[in-house]
Amino acid sequence: MSSEPLLEVENLTIEYETRQGPLTAVSNADFTVGEGEYFGLVGESGCGKSTLAKSIIGGLDDNGKIASGKLKYRGEEIQDLSDAQLNEEIRWKEIAYIPQASMNSLDPLQRLSEQAIEIANVHTDLTDEEALTQFKEMFEVVGLPENRIRDYPHEFSGGMQQRAIIALALFLKPSIIIADEPTTALDVIMQDQIFKYLDEIRGATDTSMILITHDISLVFETCDELAVMHGGQIAETGRITDVYDNPKHPYSYLLQRAFPDIRYPDRELETIEGTPPQQFGDVDYCTFANRCPWAEEGCRDAAPELEVSDRSAENHRASCFRSKEIFEQQDPDESLAAIRGDQA
Ligand SMILES: Nc1ncnc2c1ncn2[C@@H]1O[C@H](COP(=O)(O)OP(=O)(O)OP(=O)(O)O)[C@@H](O)[C@H]1O
Ligand code: SF4
Ligand SMILES: [Mg+2]
């Protein structure tokens, strides 16, 4: 989708202070989300997805910090804004975040209407009445009856709570919603429904979305672009079709191969052999090197940059030293086999 950049993540590195020293949860992440675009962020558990998401709204845990890089919203740097500035200018009304395991994020002691009013009071100048009108509208969009806005969370089923959370995230009409595993806790039927509503929202608003999930098939069905993360690095990013049809990083290639029918299967991200790594200190190597069948010594000596690796698609980028050698051949299967030394 050709659209103005709404959110730019530029060479972002995020660290957590831990007893074993600084843990680098995200290194040099770089991607852009355009207006109205749905952007998928996929990768196995622990690869840094939630860390990246939380950093965008200034919500990192106390021991976490942006060590370097920039976050820009509509061209303005936001990575150094204070909590008060973020509340005033960004959170909820520009960028809404639906946290992982968000069912626990509803206040059990407050009616949903009260929670909506509180959010509106902190982040906008809307009157209570205006806030409730907007909240009711959004309640309907997500398929909840508006006469239930005064219910307490426990009066709703799990799926309804999740939809109420989506309504809370949406009613101030943010430009971007970051949804961190929005359906993981739900059964398959509920998951389908939520995604049906997310699609309807897409039709009804021009909201962008960053969808974080293990379920790569959801990303293929729902999103325009994606980033595949591994060990805190972005392995590959680009339009869904480009990455699927023409993977340029061994990790996405292996993921793609794990899903012969990747556009439709109802399956979770398959694990690739080996343990997901944790990185301490400077990440000056490819974080996939210990698991990559095509790794060579050089892969452990420097971190590959995310570079355009597909001449026909400028925003299709991969971070692999051997990408061109492996994937620019006529038949990547053959070149990968040859490089790995497989028997023909
Ligand atoms: N507060 C913290 N202190 C120390 N390490 C942390 C903290 N939060 C996350 N981490 C570590 O940072 C890395 C990235 O974690 P993160 O939660 O971002 O992963 P994720 O991709 O969202 O995983 P999942 O799919 O399981 O939600 C992991 O190694 C995790 O253990
Ligand atoms: S840089 Fe090396 S280890 Fe990393 S993905 Fe490419 S070939 Fe594999
Ligand atoms: Mg997470």
CATH of residue 308's domain is 3.40.50.300
- The answer to whether 210 and 39 are in contact (CB under 8 A) is yes
Query: 184-188, 242-246, 312-316: which has the highest mean pLDDT?
Result: 242-246
Going by alpha carbons, the residue nearest to atom 2 of ligand 1 is: 16
Question: Band of the pLDDT at 338, cuts 50, 70, 90?
Answer: low
Share of the chain above pLDDT 70, in %: 88
| Residues with Cβ within 8 Å of residue 142, at least 6 apart in sequence | 163, 164, 166, 167, 170, 197, 201
The two tokens of residue 313 are 């698609």
Report if residue 159 sits inside a domain.
Answer: no
319 or 334: which leads in pLDDT: 319
Average confidence (pLDDT) over 11-15: 98
Q: How far apart are CA 256 and CA 55, in angstroms?
A: 29
Average pLDDT value over all residues in the chain: 87
pLDDT value for 320 = 97
Question: Band of the pLDDT at 343, cuts 50, 70, 90?
Answer: very low
- The answer to whether 71 and 233 are in contact (CB under 8 A) is no
The lowest-confidence range among 82-96, 256-270, 329-343 is 256-270
Is a pLDDT exceeding 60 seen at residue 137? yes
Report if residue 134 sits inside a domain.
Answer: no
Give residues (CB < 6 A) around ligand 1.
Answer: 16, 18, 23, 25, 43, 45-51, 61, 63-64, 100, 278
Q: How far is the CA of 184 from the centre of ligand 3 (A)?
A: 11
Q: How many CA atoms lie within 13 A of 337 on its CB side?
A: 7
Ligand 2 near 135 CB (within 6 A): no
Which string of b and e fits 235-253 if b means at least 16 CB within 10 Å?
A: bbbbbbebbbebbbbbbbb
pLDDT value for 274 = 76
Closest CA to 217 of 263, 150, 151, 158: 263
pLDDT value for 113 = 96
Q: How far apart are CA 159 and CA 186, in angstroms?
A: 7
Average confidence (pLDDT) over 66-73: 98
pLDDT value for 340 = 60
Which atom of ligand 1 lies nearest, measured to the CA of 53?
Answer: 18
Query: 54-68, 84-98, 141-155, 165-179: which has the highest mean pLDDT?
Result: 54-68
Structurally, the chain folds into a number of domains equal to 1
pLDDT in tens, 247-296: 999 998 888 776 655 454 555 555 677 777 789 999 999 999 999 999 99
pLDDT value for 235 = 97
Report if residue 33 sits inside a domain.
Answer: yes
Q: How far is the CA of 299 from the centre of ligand 2 (A)?
A: 6
Residue 333 has a CB neighbour count (10 Å cut-off) of 11
Question: Band of the pLDDT at 220, cuts 50, 70, 90?
Answer: confident
Exposed/middle/buried for 91, CB within 10 Å: 0-12, 13-18, 19+? Answer: buried
Q: How far apart are CA 72 and CA 70, in angstroms?
A: 6
Question: Band of the pLDDT at 32, cuts 50, 70, 90?
Answer: very high
Report if residue 246 sits inside a domain.
Answer: yes
User: What values do phi and psi take at 141, rounded to 5?
Assistant: -60, -35
Which of 249, 297, 299 to mutate to test ligand 2, by most ligand atoms within 8 A of the CB atom? 299
Is a pLDDT exceeding 60 seen at residue 215? yes
Report if residue 282 sits inside a domain.
Answer: yes
Report if residue 89 sits inside a domain.
Answer: yes
CA gyration radius for the chain?
21
Report if residue 270 sits inside a domain.
Answer: yes
Strand partners, 228: 42, 236
Share of the chain above pLDDT 90, in %: 57
Average confidence (pLDDT) over 51-56: 97
Which atom of ligand 2 lies nearest, measured to the CA of 295?
Answer: 3
Q: How far is the CA of 46 from the centre of ligand 1 (A)?
A: 5
Q: How far apart are CA 16 and CA 66, in angstroms?
A: 9
Helix (H, G, I), strand (E, B) or coil at 139: helix
pLDDT value for 337 = 66
Full domain range(s) for residue 335: 5-94+177-183+209-316+324-340
Q: Quote the Cα angle for 49-264-243, to 5°.
A: 55
Q: How far apart are CA 191 and CA 183, in angstroms?
A: 5
184 or 85: which leads in pLDDT: 85
Question: Band of the pLDDT at 198, cuts 50, 70, 90?
Answer: confident
pLDDT value for 150 = 96
- What is the pairing mode between strands 176-180 and 95-98? parallel
pLDDT in tens, 93-121: 999 998 887 767 889 999 999 999 999 99
Report if residue 53 sits inside a domain.
Answer: yes
